[in-house]
Amino acid sequence: MLSPARHRAVRRVTVALAVSAALLTAGCGPSGGTGAHPAATASSPEGFPVTVDNCGVRTTYDRPPSRVVTIHQHPAELMLALGLKDRMVGTAFPDSAVLPELRKDFEAIPELAEREPSFEKILDSEPDLVYGGYGSAFTEKEGRSREAFADAGIDTHLNREYCGEKRVTMADTYAEVRTIGRIFGVPDRAERLVADLKDRVGEAASAVEGEPDVPVFVYDSGDKSAFTAGGKGLGTDLIRLAGGENVFADLDEVFGDVSWEQVVERRPEVIAVYDYAGSGSVERKKEFLLAQPALADVPAVRNKRFVVLPLTATLVGIRSAYAVDGLARGLHPESFR
């Protein structure tokens, strides 16, 4: 027997198919895979339909989504920053302290799970869109593939950092904000937010302009090997804008493992420690690095130069602009006196 949530999802798909069949019978013509049906367009709000190509999935929105579940914190914060709290029916997997100005709104939204919620748990919220931050939001082996949601009549959107197509930069952050603004029919809000983020980045970058680049090693986690930020992720561009250079920018991944011998060879002068729930405290990470005899002569370890960043701040989302400022102050403190 189908659960109530799955029954509702199947019923939505059945109704949608019936409506499509009726329209075709009436001779309106097929909608195709790249645009809205003419009948839907006639009743759509201003600016719609909107078609978005996202990580190989094309979706046409006839109207703004009204019941959204976000998986991972950075999509939730982006939506809240765009004033879309009233469209959110669930969040999941908070991994850092929420920005103070967003905390009250964030806490008002039901938390579906400490990590990624099950497919059934998401269906219980009856969303019309699921917005994921990491690729794990739509893991097929756990029944949360984008195809599974599509079969249930639910649209999906994945943060572009995990499309795996190219190296990600701050330009992708601005593009993500604008895309979400289009999907929800608030492009003006999106442009204002982009302008604010650009101002934040510009102020920090200007403060360190002309300073020599500081070699930076990102320490996410790991003991036998180091789990670090590679060149494909946004972290490398954040370091560049802040007046530094990721010593593992040549690692062709968003994140990946490297040996401690490689860390020693590349002699970073600063270590950026990523802080998030479930990875151990920042103090324990620092203690581990300082206690390794093999790292004793690494300049960053010898001089105890650490910069701490919430993991959420290093991803495509509104926090990335804040991260540039925090990094710049840690790499070039003399520029901010």
Nearest to 286 by CA among 303, 306, 268, 267: 306
Shared domain for 124 and 20, answered yes or no, is yes
Shared domain for 226 and 117, answered yes or no, is no
Domain boundary among 91, 126, 158: 158
Give the predicted TM-score (pTM) of the model: 0.83
Shared domain for 100 and 230, answered yes or no, is no
pLDDT digits 0-9 by tens, 133-189:
989 999 999 999 999 999 999 999 999 888 876 889 999 999 999 999 999 999 999
pLDDT exceeds cutoff 70 at 226:
yes
The average confidence (pLDDT) of the chain is 88
Q: DSSP for 131-195, please give it.
A: EESSGGGG-GGGT--HHHHHHTT-EEEE-GGGS-SS---HHHHHHHHHHHHHHTT-HHHHHHHHH
Q: What is the CATH number of the domain that holds 46?
A: 3.40.50.1980
Shared domain for 215 and 150, answered yes or no, is no
Q: Which residues contact 336 (CB under 8 A, 6 or more apart)?
A: 207, 328, 329
pLDDT digits 0-9 by tens, 82-105:
999 999 999 999 888 899 999 999
The answer to whether the beta carbons of residues 255 and 223 sit under 8 Å apart is no
Shared domain for 230 and 90, answered yes or no, is no
322 is in which domain, residue-wise? 208-336
Shared domain for 19 and 152, answered yes or no, is yes
In-domain check, residue 182: no
In-domain check, residue 146: yes
